[in-house]
Amino acid sequence: MASGSWPVSVEFPVHWGDMDSFGHVNNAVYLRWFESARIAYFREIRQEFVTPNGVGPILARMEIDYRLPVKFPDTVRCEATVTSLGNSSYRMAYRLHSKAHGGLAAEGDSVVVMVNYATSRSVPLSDELRSAIQDLESKS
């Protein structure tokens, strides 16, 4: 899907309750795994969820390509990276690896937009945020 430096990685156990009636992990669980990796990325770049002036990130788009069915028992590792910076948004990519399969189970792509929550309008990425993302991506 996308290439990046993959500076953030989070590991999760697959729980019995993550599976659905089809005998594999429900698609909503993948969204939670990707969300957790996104939040870990935010923490690495010290992204505030809402700044004192009311600006914060919002997920505008999420896409997932499922490669392998994940089942209990397993452990998955989700990696996150920023693949591009726009004026008021940035694109993130995710890779989910299954230990049981020994390979890539899913890939994801999202768009995060910086929003002024008082006006519900997008705002330009701050220089500090751009710099933090570029610094983290260059370290990997």
Tell me the C-alpha distance between 134 and 137, whole Å: 5
Q: Which residues contact 36 (CB under 8 A, 6 or more apart)?
A: 10, 12, 78
With H, G, I as helix, E, B as strand and everything else as coil, classify residue 33. Answer: helix
CATH class of this structure's domain 8-128: alpha beta
Domain ranges of the chain: 8-128
Q: pLDDT per position in the chain (140 positions), as tens?
A: 456 799 999 999 999 999 999 999 999 999 999 999 999 999 999 988 888 889 999 999 999 999 999 999 999 999 999 999 999 999 999 999 999 999 999 999 999 999 999 999 999 999 999 999 999 999 86
User: How far is C-alpha 132 from the chain's CA centre?
Assistant: 16
User: Measuring CA to CA, how many Å separate 74 from each of 1, 15, 44, 111, 132?
Assistant: 23, 8, 26, 29, 33
Instruction: Map 99-127 to HEC letters.
Output: CCCCEEEEEEEEEEEEEECCCCEECCCCH
